[in-house]
Amino acid sequence: MKRAEKQAVKLIIAEYSPKVTKTFITWADAEDMMTVKMKEANRRPRTIQDYLLTLKVLKDLFPDTNGPTDISLIHAEEFKGRRLKLKIEPITVGEDLDTLSSIWKKWFIGQCKLPLTNYWSREVIERPTVDKKDARRLLQQEKIDFLGWLNKRWEGWRLPVLCLQVKALTGCRLMQLCSLRKEDLQEGRIVFPAEGTGNKKRKDRKAILPPELFAELEALSGPTFVFERFSQDLSQIHRRRGKMHLVATTKAFDPKRLANWLQDEKDRYLKENTGVRHFKLHNFRGTAISEAIEAGADYLEVSKGFAIHPETARQYYEKVDEVRISDGVLGLIQGQSFGNNPVTQRSETERNGPKPKVEEGKGGPTASSDSAMTSDGSS
């Protein structure tokens, strides 16, 4: 029935969409028009770039099209199928379809006034079914083991270990961290600028650090970037080890180069330690968010503390709380306590409310009528 309804929607759209005279417009002209309108609407450069990249995916998939006026319902249907055949993750395909729908509806049609039909909407193209995966949570010992391996491999070189310790404690994104400038260290806090690399928000985010780590960052910082000693230190280690060919290939500092190096080191760690469950450096961020929730922060506080959307924070909150409350509920019937738990830590009165008062001699609930089942199951 659902499939028939969706097919009916497609037929209705095809039949009753305003019949427009197609005025040919090239991809380049359409993209230029959209970019101008997005800038006028004060959209972030990153958003504009993401939209243009999605259009590039579409153009690469259908090289015979010369502009958006060439796109039909058939193209929209084939886009989904072709992307999935290329082994693109279903969640990514769904996000691409949503982005194309926004481009057509809001920008090409709404703002640029192009005579087009939005074939990308959810009413027309069903999104791939996605099984939501639980976020990878890094245990404390896993972090200790990884950083210990990194420290040993590089003979106590403090810079990369300090970098990842800061990431674990602030929950920042990797490129935000690698791009930090000296002036971003202010009064015991890291200030992640609103327009800084990797910052998806429109305002600065301030992250406090333990005093000893902040002092280390200040002492380490170069004239421009906090971690700009990276290339110099790496070159010295290679030279000390007699690997002159690596000294020759070590390039000047660039935040992206540091980020890639850290990713490579993580991949090497996983390759050498096959028993370790796979993780990403980005999981340091999700782990920090989960740890904050478990420590008692609610999702609105988490949203502000980590500069994420309240809905994203709520999803983390529900996932962490779901396990915690489930443990507590089962703990109640098993006669066990699971530590710092919102269910097992509450008194019976807090869970069930006060018992009704019964005046002596007036009847009503008694201790016997409120008794539990006997051991043989009878009441």
Domains (ranges, CATH) in the chain?
A: 2-111 (1.10.150), 140-290 (1.10.443), 309-352 (no CATH)
Q: Catalogue the long-range contacts made by 291-297 (C-beta closer than 8 Å, 24 or more residues apart).
A: 292/171, 293/317, 293/320, 293/321, 294/320, 294/324
Distance CA 266, CA 281 (A): 8
Half-sphere exposure of 43 (CA within 13 A, CB side): 17
Rounded to whole angstroms, how far apart are CA atoms 45 and 32?
A: 14
Give the pLDDT confidence score for residue 379 in this predicted structure.
Answer: 38
pLDDT of residue 312: 78
- Residue 179: closest CA among 199, 158, 162: 199
The pTM of the full predicted model, rounded to 2 decimals, is 0.65
What is the spatial distance between Cα 317 and Cα 299, in angstroms, rounded to a whole number?
6
DSSP characters for 154-207?
A: TTT-HHHHHHHHHHHHH---HHHHHT-BGGGEETTEEEE-TTSTT--SSS-EEE
Question: Nearest-5° angle of CA 326, CA 343, CA 378?
Answer: 80
**What pLDDT is stored for residue 366 in this prediction?**
40
Do residues 255 and 197 make contact, with C-beta atoms less than 8 angstroms apart? yes
Tens digits of pLDDT across the chain (379 residues): 566 666 666 556 555 555 545 578 999 999 999 999 999 998 888 889 999 999 999 999 999 999 999 999 999 999 999 999 999 989 899 999 999 999 999 999 999 999 999 999 999 999 998 876 667 889 999 999 999 999 999 999 999 999 999 999 999 999 999 999 999 999 999 999 876 544 455 678 899 999 999 999 999 999 999 999 999 999 999 999 999 999 998 899 999 999 999 999 999 999 999 999 999 999 999 899 888 888 888 878 888 888 888 887 777 766 766 766 677 778 778 776 555 554 445 444 444 555 555 454 444 444 333 333 333 444 3
Spatial separation of the C-alpha atoms in residues 38 and 102, rounded to whole Å: 12
Residue 201's pLDDT is what? 55
Pick the closest to residue 173 from 201, 133, 134, 140 (CA basis): 201
- Residue 149 has phi, psi (to 5 degrees) of -60, -45
Give 189's strand partners: 186, 208
Q: Report the C-alpha gap between 221 and 157 in whole angstroms.
A: 15
At residue 313, the pLDDT reads 78
